[in-house]
Amino acid sequence: QLFRDDRISIDGNEVKAGQELLYKVTYKNTTGKDQKVVIKDKIPEHTTYVEGSASDDGVYKDGEITWTKEKVADGETFEVTFKVKVNDNVNGEKILNKANVVEGNNNYDTNETTNPTPTKPVKDVFSPSDDKVSIDGNEVKAGQELLYKVTYKNTTGKDQKVEIKDRIPEYTTYVEGSASDGGVYKDGEITWTKEKVADGETFEVTFKVKVNN
């Protein structure tokens, strides 16, 4: 299971870059006899292990933590925890984790926890006559019109209210009325607000500027 603190599960919730996550693996011996138990848990992709966070003498090596308990009595519970930090470069990937438990001759995997992460919006620039071919990095001339496009994709696992703000580039002038999707231009900045972007949905906005003479 996955927790924000030791009591509130956040399995299925969106997580963000830099956020610390506490994982908890719980084994209960219901075999009718004592068992030697080994729990292994591979650190989720797109995260970094928090050094020294493995409980109960868990040993971290090569991206995996191993806990060994020589004797878990019948009816007894063996619970272990560790922490990871979500990597700064995470961008829409899901954070997935499951542990493997060996009790005597039995070997099985736990349930898998899943946490979506947000995707960073993408900005690009085009000639208004062709919004398919990017001109990012190309030379532009005085008086030339540029079409900017900002694309947001919701990968958070739930509906989101989204606000996009974009400041007009220096040395350009906003083309009046060019902001798509109800964008409001004020004091050199355009603001778009969409009350609901469904999970998996893309919200794309555009505007034009003219390069100053």
Q: Which residues contact 180 (CB under 8 A, 6 or more apart)?
A: 192, 205, 206, 207
Same domain, 11 and 87: yes
Number of domains in the chain: 2
Give me the domain span that covers residue 194.
Answer: 122-211
Tokens of 87: 């990597």
**Is there a single domain that holds both residue 126 and residue 73?**
no
Whether 104 and 135 share a structural domain: no
CATH code of residue 107: 2.60.40.740
| Residue carrying the six token digits 């009591």 | 7
8 Å CB contact between 50 and 21 = no
| 96 and 144 belong to one structural domain | no
Of 78, 100, 115, the residue that ends a domain is 115
- Both 132 and 201 in a single domain? yes
Whole-prediction pTM value?
0.83
Which pLDDT value is given to residue 8?
Answer: 85
pLDDT at 4: 62
pLDDT at 103: 92
Per-residue tens of pLDDT for the chain, all 213 residues: 676 666 789 999 999 999 999 999 999 999 999 999 999 999 999 999 999 999 999 999 999 999 999 999 999 999 999 999 999 999 999 999 999 999 988 999 999 999 999 999 999 999 999 999 999 999 999 999 999 999 999 999 999 999 999 999 999 999 999 999 999 999 999 999 999 999 999 999 999 999 999
16 and 110 belong to one structural domain: yes
Helix (H, G, I), strand (E, B) or coil at 25: strand
**Residue that terminates a domain, selected from 80, 98, 115:** 115
Burial of 18 (0-12, 13-18, 19+ CB in 10 A): exposed
Q: Indicate the residue among 98, 115, 132 that finishes a domain.
A: 115
